[in-house]
């Protein structure tokens, strides 16, 4: 058996070692707590937009949309989603981009929920899901028109694209 030495520490040395260990553990916890945000990146009329995945229930291929007489021009209609009636909002028209979105094979409905309000958002395509640090979200550009600035709370630069982060609460509160 190898020679074992017993090391005796003073109370001050023990306290210093415990303090150092506690500091290392707290740093590790802080780094773990700094979670990245998962963002769905999608296109509307050629522009990149993003939504926090926590606000998205699911992403659907286009289903049969039933028109609703007298609905606002940006409401395409409703769909039946597992027994629930869900309004479909054409975000291109809602943002005042002029024309109605043209539904293609790439078009998707992003089912969202905020403050107990559910809706489907029609988008031209969903590109990918990205991970960002919260501090990467910058304030929106001051060049946004007043209408758009209500619905965008920040912007993220990712792979040479500027992604406008949607303020879902403001979009849905008017529904």
Mean pLDDT of 140-160: 77
User: Could you tell me if 85 and 115 are in contact, meaning their C-beta atoms sit under 8 angstroms apart?
Assistant: no
User: Could you tell me if 39 and 50 are in contact, meaning their C-beta atoms sit under 8 angstroms apart?
Assistant: yes
Structure tokens of 39? 């963002």
Contacts 24+ apart (CB under 8 A), 137-145: 137/37, 137/165, 140/164
Residue 11: burial class (beta carbons within 10 Å; 0-12, 13-18, 19+): exposed
Report helix, strand and coil shares of the chain as percent, to nearest 5. Answer: 25, 40, 35
Say which residues have a Cβ less than 8 Å from residue 158's Cβ, sequence separation at least 6. 41, 130, 132
Whether the pLDDT of residue 30 is over 60: the answer is: no
User: Could you tell me if 172 and 117 are in contact, meaning their C-beta atoms sit under 8 angstroms apart?
Assistant: yes
- Cα(152)–Cα(80) distance, integer angstroms: 29
pLDDT digits (tens, 9 = 90+) for 52-107: 999 999 999 998 899 999 999 899 999 999 989 999 999 888 887 766 667 889 99
Q: Which pLDDT score, from 0 to 100, does residue 29 have?
A: 56
CB crowding 54-63: b at 16 or more within 10 Å, else e: eebeebeebe
- Cα(80)–Cα(128) distance, integer angstroms: 26
Ordered domains of the chain (ranges, CATH): 37-173 (2.40.50.180)
Averaged pLDDT score across all residues of the chain: 84
Q: Among positive and negative, which fits the CA dihedral 82, 62, 145, 140?
A: positive
Could you tell me which residue, 4 or 88, shows the higher pLDDT?
Answer: 88
């Amino acid at each position: 058996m190898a020679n074992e030495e017993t090391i005796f520490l003073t109370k001050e040395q023990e306290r210093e070692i415990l303090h150092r260990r506690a500091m290392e553990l707290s740093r590790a916890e802080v780094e773990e707590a700094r979670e990245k945000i998962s963002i769905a990146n999608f296109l509307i009329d050629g522009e990149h937009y993003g939504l926090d995945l926590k606000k998205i229930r699911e992403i659907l291929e286009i289903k049969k949309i039933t028109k609703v007489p007298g609905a606002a021009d940006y409401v395409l209609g409703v769909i039946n989603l597992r027994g629930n009636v869900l309004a479909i909002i054409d975000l291109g028209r809602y943002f005042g981009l002029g024309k109605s979105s043209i539904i293609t094979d790439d078009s998707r409905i992003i089912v969202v929920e905020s403050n107990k309000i559910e809706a489907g958002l029609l988008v031209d395509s969903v590109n990918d899901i990205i991970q960002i640090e919260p501090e990467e979200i910058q304030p929106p550009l001051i060049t946004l028109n007043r209408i758009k600035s209500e619905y965008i709370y920040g912007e993220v630069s990712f792979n040479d694209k500027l992604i406008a982060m949607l303020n879902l609460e403001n979009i849905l509160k008017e529904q």
